[in-house]
């Protein structure tokens, strides 16, 4: 039997969860909110501008989390 790194999917899930908590903490501190649901359109746009600015280094998991938060907010706006 050859070497294999097991449970990589579980590792990815844990890293994504950690990144989500990390990003959420930054958002809560910056905007004084308790949830991304409390963010306004201007704040979401500011986060999206940050995400899309190629001069900013943003780690891959953080990019994924930020994009997901933006997309979720936009989805909620379309429903309302």
78: pLDDT confidence band, cut at 50, 70 and 90? confident
Length of the chain: 80
Sole residue written with tokens 């994009």: 67
Question: Which residue blocks in 1-80 are alpha helix, DSSP H?
Answer: 8-31, 41-52, 60-79
Task: Give kind and range of the element (H or E) at residue 75.
Answer: helix 60-79
Q: What is the pTM of this model?
A: 0.85
pLDDT tens-digit profile of 8-63? Answer: 999 999 999 999 999 999 999 999 999 999 999 999 999 999 999 999 999 999 99
Structure tokens at 70: 């933006």
């Amino acid at each position: 039997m050859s070497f294999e790194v097991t449970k990589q999917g579980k590792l990815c899930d844990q890293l994504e969860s950690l990144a989500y908590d990390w990003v959420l903490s930054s958002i809560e501190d910056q905007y004084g909110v308790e949830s991304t649901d409390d963010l306004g359109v201007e704040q979401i746009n500011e986060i999206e501008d940050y995400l899309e600015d190629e001069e900013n280094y943003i780690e891959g998991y953080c990019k994924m989390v930020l994009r997901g938060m933006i997309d979720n907010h936009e989805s909620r706006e379309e429903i309302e």
